[in-house]
């Protein structure tokens, strides 16, 4: 019993040690990952600041946005807002500037808190002076799959029919929907004012199908009356597909000839080879005479098969010739489409119609 207790105690301590080692390993792995992400974030921020100094504001905004996805701070939001404002993305700059102010107000111990907050307030104020309010009015009965674009950017459904912010200046309002012609309108959004745009669709009219465009003209009849009408050429028939009868017969004959040739020559050759393999020379095979007698008995069949082979060669040749002749005759056929003209005739008091068919 004492031995069992000692074994259990050792097992308990072993499990405990393993748990501690696993926990320590997990903590070290998490810390290494955090350190890696921190280094990546720091590199992104440095590259964003360098891009801002060199006037590459779009790249600066992208790098700052990616760095904020790893760890967000008020100072980083300030950098993002400033780069977006310089890149002309006024509405996004206003939103990130306001977010920067809210974050810094909650974090009283942030380094350089007052400086960053003042910079974000300047971004918001300048952005509002460079922005305008617009209202995009959609139809009362919305067509299926309605999509609205403002300046090439999708306008969210929650922003339809309400005042939203947009960069001041020339804006292109676009809208598409199923069964409707695309809507497009250029507007001048003035800073500090409200501009309203109403989307008006025109249904798509289906194009008429079938029929050729009539060609009208005027002719003079032989008795001095005038004739008028229209001429419509009959549709040109498509070339008829398939093979001609000669080609079909020739193909069948050629196939039969090929099969007969193979049977007439290959089978006798195989049988002769078999006899030779079984019988062999007389000096080493005592049963040579019986094998030879068997071979003589089957000679007639071999001759018949050979005759079939020679006849099949002729059949294959005839079939090939028929296929060539059929192809040539089919290619030489020239089908011309008839022209049909229906001309209403008007001569004095006589009215009627004449049908002209030309081949």
Choosing from 173, 198, 223, the residue where a domain stops is 198
Residue 352 within any structural domain of the chain: no
Residue 237 within any structural domain of the chain: no
Lowest mean per-residue pLDDT among 218-232, 233-247, 270-284: 218-232
The pTM of the full predicted model, rounded to 2 decimals, is: 0.46
Looking at the structure, tell me whether residues 146 and 125 fall in a common domain: no
Predicted pLDDT at 269? 73
Looking at the structure, tell me whether residues 71 and 106 fall in a common domain: yes
Looking at the structure, tell me whether residues 176 and 100 fall in a common domain: no
Looking at the predicted structure, is the pLDDT value of residue 354 above 50?
A: no
Closest CA to 124 of 78, 170, 60: 78
Residue 75 is part of a domain; what is its CATH number?
1.25.40.10
Total residues belonging to the chain: 359
Residue 251 within any structural domain of the chain: yes
Residue 8 within any structural domain of the chain: no
Q: Give the DSSP per-residue string, 64-104.
A: HHHHHHHS--HHHHHHHHHHHHHTT-HHHHHHHHHHHHHHH
Predicted pLDDT at 207? 66
Domain count, the chain: 3
Looking at the predicted structure, is the pLDDT value of residue 356 above 60?
A: no
Cβ count within 10 A of residue 329: 12
Looking at the structure, tell me whether residues 116 and 153 fall in a common domain: no
Q: Which domain holds residue 305?
A: 245-332
Cβ count within 10 A of residue 9: 10
Looking at the structure, tell me whether residues 187 and 124 fall in a common domain: no
Note the pLDDT tens digit of each residue in 136-159. Answer: 999 999 999 999 999 888 999 999
Cβ count within 10 A of residue 97: 27
Predicted pLDDT at 229? 44
Residue 88 within any structural domain of the chain: yes
- In this prediction, residue 1 has a pLDDT band, given cuts at 50, 70 and 90, of low
Predicted pLDDT at 181? 95
Note the pLDDT tens digit of each residue in 95-118. Answer: 999 999 999 999 888 899 999 999
Lowest mean per-residue pLDDT among 14-28, 38-52, 85-99, 120-134: 14-28
């Amino acid at each position: 019993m004492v031995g069992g207790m000692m074994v259990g105690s050792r097992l308990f301590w072993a499990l405990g040690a393993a748990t501690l080692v696993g926990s320590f390993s997990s903590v070290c792995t998490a810390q290494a990952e955090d350190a890696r992400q921190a280094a990546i974030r720091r590199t992104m921020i440095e590259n964003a600041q360098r891009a801002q100094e060199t006037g590459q504001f779009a790249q600066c905004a992208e790098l700052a946005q990616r760095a904020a996805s790893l760890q967000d701070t008020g100072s980083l939001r300030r950098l993002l807002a400033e780069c977006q404002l310089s890149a002309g993305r006024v509405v996004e700059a206003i939103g990130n500037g306001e977010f920067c102010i809210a974050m810094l107000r909650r974090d009283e111990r942030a380094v350089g808190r007052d400086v960053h907050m003042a910079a974000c307030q300047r971004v918001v104020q300048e952005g509002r002076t460079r922005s305008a309010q617009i209202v995009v009015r959609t139809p009362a009965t919305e067509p299926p799959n309605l999509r609205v674009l403002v300046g090439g950017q999708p306008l969210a459904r929650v922003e339809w029919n309400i005042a939203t912010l947009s960069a001041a200046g020339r804006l292109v309002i676009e809208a598409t929907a199923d069964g409707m012609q695309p809507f497009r309108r250029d507007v001048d959004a003035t800073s500090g004012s409200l501009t309203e745009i109403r989307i008006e669709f025109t249904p798509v009219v289906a194009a008429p199908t079938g029929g050729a465009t009539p060609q009208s003209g005027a002719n003079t009849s032989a008795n001095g009356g005038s004739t008028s009408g229209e001429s419509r050429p009959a549709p040109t028939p498509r070339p008829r597909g398939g093979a001609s009868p000669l080609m079909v017969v020739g193909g069948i004959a050629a196939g039969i000839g090929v099969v007969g040739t193979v049977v007439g020559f290959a089978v006798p050759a195989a049988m002769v080879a078999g006899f030779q393999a079984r019988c062999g020379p007389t000096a080493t095979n005592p049963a040579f005479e019986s094998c030879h007698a068997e071979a003589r008995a089957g000679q007639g069949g071999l001759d018949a098969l050979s005759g079939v082979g020679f006849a099949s060669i002729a059949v294959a040749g005839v079939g090939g010739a028929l296929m060539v002749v059929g192809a040539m005759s089919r290619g030489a056929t020239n089908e011309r489409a008839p022209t049909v003209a229906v001309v209403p005739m008007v001569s004095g008091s006589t009215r009627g119609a004449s049908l002209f068919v030309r081949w």
